[in-house]
Amino acid sequence: MSQSYADQTARVYLKAYQTLGVKMKAILVAPSSTRGWGHIGNSLILSTISDVQRRYAIDPDRIYLAGQSMGGHLTLSSGPLVA
């Protein structure tokens, strides 16, 4: 997929979860990839979490992953690395 399509998809998901994020006082992050999640997925997830933790005061016990379709598969495989 193109970078613009990947970014557009991420924005759609952020908008869909925005109300819930405000209600929960959560920081929502939706990384996108033009190459699918394959081997780069865990690296992208962990580096994104690390980047957000450097920018904001994040409670490491309150980091949650969620995903749909390929993102769901990435969540399943990355979850143990984040926990």
* Structural domain for 65, as ranges: 3-78
11 within domain boundaries: yes
Q: What is the pLDDT of residues 1-48, one digit of tens each?
A: 788 888 888 889 889 889 998 999 999 988 877 777 777 888 888 888
- pLDDT of 13: 86
Number of domains in the chain: 1
- Tell which residue, 45, 69, 49, 47, has the closest CA to residue 59: 49
Is 53 among the domain residues?
Answer: yes
Give pLDDT, residue 22.
93
Residue with tokens 């920081």: 27
Assess contact for 27 and 52: CB atoms under 8 A. yes
Let me know if residue 14 belongs to a domain.
yes
pLDDT at residue 83, rounded to an integer? 63
Q: Quick check: is 22 in a domain?
A: yes
Note the pLDDT tens digit of each residue in 31-44: 877 777 777 888 88
∠ at Cα 32 (27, 38), nearest 5°?
A: 120
Distance between CA atoms of residues 79 and 62, nearest Å: 13
Residue 83 lies in a domain: no
81 sits in which H/E element: helix 70-82
